[in-house]
């Protein structure tokens, strides 16, 4: 199959062409469609042609289709990771318990040393990991776009790996707070890349105008960046710190095109402002509970749910705080919620699975294409072995996935009708080569970071 490549991507791409889509019948799986009209089907089929889900039901057949036997597996939509910094995945070897080598100090020192080649290698590594744990859509929160070539490198890697993604074009770690994101280059990426990369979409990642570990951006610069992104019709995303929402609200900048990351430390007035604005929120329990934001308070899932603010899940960084295990992300949110003595709001396993799939798709504006197993949508799905020792026996499949599931149970991963992971391996990329290249880059950066 011929792969479309922009000229800018040609210098990076080194994967073999992605596998063909063809016609597939997934047979006799336990289907968690996450589509309220279809519900769960205890032994059902999914008929897929050219990446589109044609039909779902029990007892379907499809003459001539390739059959994937799904007995003893649970089929569900792939996970949607709504915020992850792919560019620093390869730096995971360099983090230490020494605070100088913690997440923010290290990435601030290493970021300026990363060339487009490092960006390409790290994004490929992160995508390889994401696919192997069942993430089929991710939001590449790119806050080290130092040059246009860095943007091309990340887009090329995403495109090469065959994953569905939003690339949110940010700043460079070496930018002064007065230097704006290159909005003209964002427009170039939109114009040159998107028509040729149907699985990729675009957004803009912003700095906060309040104090933050990476420094804050000048408010005039932020206004200009937001206006530029809105002129291009692109969604916005920003990390949250105390006062960030109040500032956006005061400046009249908050809107339904905003994704706010890290729901910790919001005031009641800020939560009301978020709800009024239609903005969405992404929670990354491994950072919020585990390390970076521990001092700012607890994850405000209950308050946001109470205010009907849309919430979805994310890993944040697989460099310092976690790996991309999305089962752990679901359980992290559950634990963070249950640890709170001041709420009795229920957060059942099935709701967590919705947050990990369909709510993630909605948060990225992709619900017409992915997030549930629904005829007419694209085939982004995973099969999990339900007979593995950590899963069996399974009565309530949704609960088993959330409570007992692990990346080790991932049997097959399909994105847009292409099988990208099967039999414990990536099918369309050389995982050993990806790891070797990432290690070589990590060694080179390690030699320069002190
Ligand atoms: Zn983040």
Q: How close is the Cα of 240 to the center of ligand 1, in Å? A: 9
As a whole number, mean pLDDT of residues 212-217 equals 83
How far apart are the CA of 253 and the centre of ligand 1, in A?
21
The answer to whether 401 and 236 have CB atoms below 8 angstroms apart is no
CA end-to-end span of the chain, whole Å?
Answer: 46
**CATH architecture, range 23-77+373-426:** Roll (2.30)
Q: Which of 232-236, 292-296, 334-338, 420-424 has the lowest mean pLDDT?
A: 292-296
Question: Which of 9-23, 375-389, 395-409 has the least mean pLDDT?
Answer: 9-23
Provide the pLDDT for residue 12: 74
pLDDT above 90: residue 10: no
Average pLDDT over residues 429-444: 96
Spatial separation of the C-alpha atoms in residues 188 and 182, rounded to whole Å: 10
Centroid of ligand 1 to alpha carbon of 138 (angstroms): 13
Mean pLDDT check: name the lowest of 291-295, 324-328, 335-339, 413-417: 291-295
| Tokens, residue 433 | 């080569």
Q: How sure is the predictor about 15, in pLDDT bands with cuts at 50, 70 and 90? A: confident
**CA 299–ligand 1 middle distance (angstroms):** 15
| Average pLDDT rounded to a whole number, residues 334-363 | 95
pLDDT score recorded for residue 213: 80
Please give the distance, rounded to the nearest whole angstrom, from the Cα atom of residue 186 to the centre of ligand 1: 20
* CA 118 to centroid of ligand 1, rounded, Å: 19
78-111 burial code (b ≥16 CB/10 A, e <16): bbbbbbbbbbbbbbbebbeeeeebbbeebbebbb
CATH 2.30.40.10 residue ranges for the chain:
23-77+373-426
CA 164 / ligand 1 centre spacing (Å): 19
- Residue 390 CA to ligand 1 center (angstroms) comes to 31
Rounded mean pLDDT of 432-441?
96
Greater model confidence, 5 or 328? 328
In angstroms, what is the span from residue 395 Cα to ligand 1's centroid?
36
Calculate mean pLDDT across residues 89-100: 92
Instruction: Provide mean pLDDT across the span 333-338.
Output: 93
Q: Where in the chain is the domain with CATH 3.20.20.140?
A: 79-363
CA of 317 to the centre of ligand 1 (A): 6
d(CA 115, CA 444): 11
Strand partners, 74: 30, 384
In this predicted model, what pLDDT tens digit does every residue of 130-166 receive, in sequence order? 999 999 999 999 999 999 999 999 999 999 999 999 9
Separation of 364 CA from ligand 1 center, angstroms?
16
269 C-alpha to ligand 1 centroid (Å) = 24
* Structural domain 79-363, CATH architecture: Alpha-Beta Barrel (3.20)
244 Cα: distance to centroid of ligand 1 (angstroms): 15
- The pTM score is 0.96
């Amino acid at each position: 199959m011929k792969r479309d490549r922009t000229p800018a991507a040609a210098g990076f791409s080194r994967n073999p062409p992605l596998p063909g889509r063809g016609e597939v019948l997934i047979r006799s799986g336990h289907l968690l469609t996450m589509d309220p009209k279809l519900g769960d089907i205890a032994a059902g089929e999914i008929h897929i042609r050219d990446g589109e889900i044609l039909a779902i039901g029990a007892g379907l057949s499809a003459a001539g289709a390739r059959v994937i036997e799904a007995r003893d597996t649970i089929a569900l939509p792939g996970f949607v990771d709504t915020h992850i910094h792919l560019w620093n995945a390869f730096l995971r070897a360099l983090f230490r318990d020494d605070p100088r080598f913690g997440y923010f100090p290290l990435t601030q020192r290493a970021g300026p040393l990363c060339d487009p080649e490092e960006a390409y290698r790290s994004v490929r590594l992160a995508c390889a990991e994401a696919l192997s744990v069942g993430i089929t859509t991710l939001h590449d929160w790119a806050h080290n776009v130092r040059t246009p070539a860095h943007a091309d490198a990340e887009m090329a890697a995403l495109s090469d790996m065959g994953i569905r993604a939003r690339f949110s074009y940010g700043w460079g770690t070496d930018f002064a707070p007065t230097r704006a994101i290159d909005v003209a280059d964002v427009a170039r990426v939109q114009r040159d890349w998107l028509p040729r990369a149907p699985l990729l979409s675009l957004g803009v990642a912003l700095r906060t105008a309040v104090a933050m570990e990476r420094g804050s951006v000048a408010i005039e610069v932020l206004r200009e960046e937001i206006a530029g992104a809105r002129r291009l019709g692109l969604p916005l995303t920003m990390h949250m710190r105390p006062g960030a929402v109040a500032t956006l609200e005061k400046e009249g900048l908050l809107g339904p095109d905003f994704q706010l990351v890290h729901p910790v430390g919001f005031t009641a007035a800020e939560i009301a402002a978020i709800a009024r604005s239609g903005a969405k929120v992404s929670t990354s329990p491994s950072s919020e509970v585990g390390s970076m934001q521990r001092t700012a308070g607890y994850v405000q899932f209950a308050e946001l749910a109470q205010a009907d603010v849309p919430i979805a899940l994310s890993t944040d960084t697989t460099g310092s705080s976690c790996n991309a295990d999305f089962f752990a992300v679901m359980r992290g949110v559950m634990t963070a919620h249950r640890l709170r003595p001041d709420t009795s709001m229920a957060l059942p396993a099935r709701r967590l699975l919705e947050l990990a799939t369909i709510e993630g798709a909605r948060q990225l504006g992709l619900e017409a294409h992915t997030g549930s197993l629904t005829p007419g949508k694209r085939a982004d799905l995973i099969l999990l072995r339900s007979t593995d020792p950590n899963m069996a026996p399974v009565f309530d499949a949704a609960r088993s996935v959330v409570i007992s599931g692990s990346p080790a149970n991932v049997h097959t991963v399909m994105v847009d009708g292409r099988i990208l992971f099967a039999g414990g391996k990536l099918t369309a990329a050389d995982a050993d080569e990806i790891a070797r290249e990432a290690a070589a880059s990590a060694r080179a950066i390690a030699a320069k970071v002190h």
